Amino acid sequence: MKYKSVFDIIGPVMIGPSSSHTAGAARIGRVARSLFNRQPDWAVVSLYGSFAKTYKGHGTDVAIIAGLLDFDTSDPRLPQALEIAKKENLKVTFIEEEAITDHPNTARIRMGDSEGEMELVGISIGGGKIEILELNGFELRLSGHHPAILVVHDDKFGAIASVSNVLARHQINIGHMEVSRKEVGSTALMTIEVDQNIGQDILDEITQLDHITRVTKIAD
């Protein structure tokens, strides 16, 4: 099926509702690309609920692939995402899952290349808005609609305070923050959404803190 623009995908030419299956799906794919920090060689996308039942008719597959290619929803190349992915040797496999999830529009994306792999779970909650609920086994809540940093750190006292102090010193306001860990005393993940983009100098400063393993930025 061919689409002239993202508005064709989310408009009346499509079956049923719109933004949850297309704009939201594209956003999930693009956040995955941003977190991976490069275009993957391959991706396996497991779709649940209504995503699984109607993804071809709604253009959800096109939208997710466009996101993995780092296309915005207004990008004129979006309708050709499938063809562009083939030309760029990005292999994407879609799996229709039968398991019941808490949200009907759920996608699990596992992606990788020769340097590494990553897995996340995202949901499309309507109006083009999304939430990322899981990243490499860590539970989190990331909207993808604000600048954010993800900080992998040792589960030690003082780690959270030291990161917060750096942001406060640079007058960076925190809009949402949460911490997830797999078990006490091991590795933890700090998710921080902020009100403005964070410069590389601040990221470098956070990276140098004790107990900090990795810092990843997501720009709005």
pLDDT in tens, 100-135: 888 888 999 999 999 999 999 999 888 778 889 999
Average pLDDT on 74-87 reads: 92
Do the Cβ atoms of 215 and 202 come closer than 8 Å? no
| Concatenated DSSP letters of 156-167 | -TTHHHHHHHHH
Q: Which tokens hold the place of 122?
A: 């995202």
pLDDT in tens, 179-213: 998 889 889 999 999 999 999 999 999 999 999 99
Do the Cβ atoms of 110 and 44 come closer than 8 Å? yes
Do the Cβ atoms of 138 and 109 come closer than 8 Å? no
- Assign domain 6-142 to a CATH class: alpha beta
Find where tokens 């939201």 sit.
24
Find where tokens 């490069």 sit.
38
- Assign domain 148-218 to a CATH class: alpha beta
pTM value is 0.79
Average pLDDT on 82-87 reads: 96
In this predicted structure, the answer to whether residue 10 has a pLDDT above a threshold of 70 is no
List the chain domain ranges. Answer: 6-142, 148-218
Among the residue ranges 71-75, 174-178, 204-208, the one predicted with the least confidence is 71-75
Q: Which tokens hold the place of 110?
A: 């596992």
* Strands 91-96 vs 42-49: parallel, antiparallel or unpaired: parallel
| Concatenated DSSP letters of 19-57 | TTTTHHHHHHHHHHHHHHTS--SEEEEEEEEHHHHHHHH
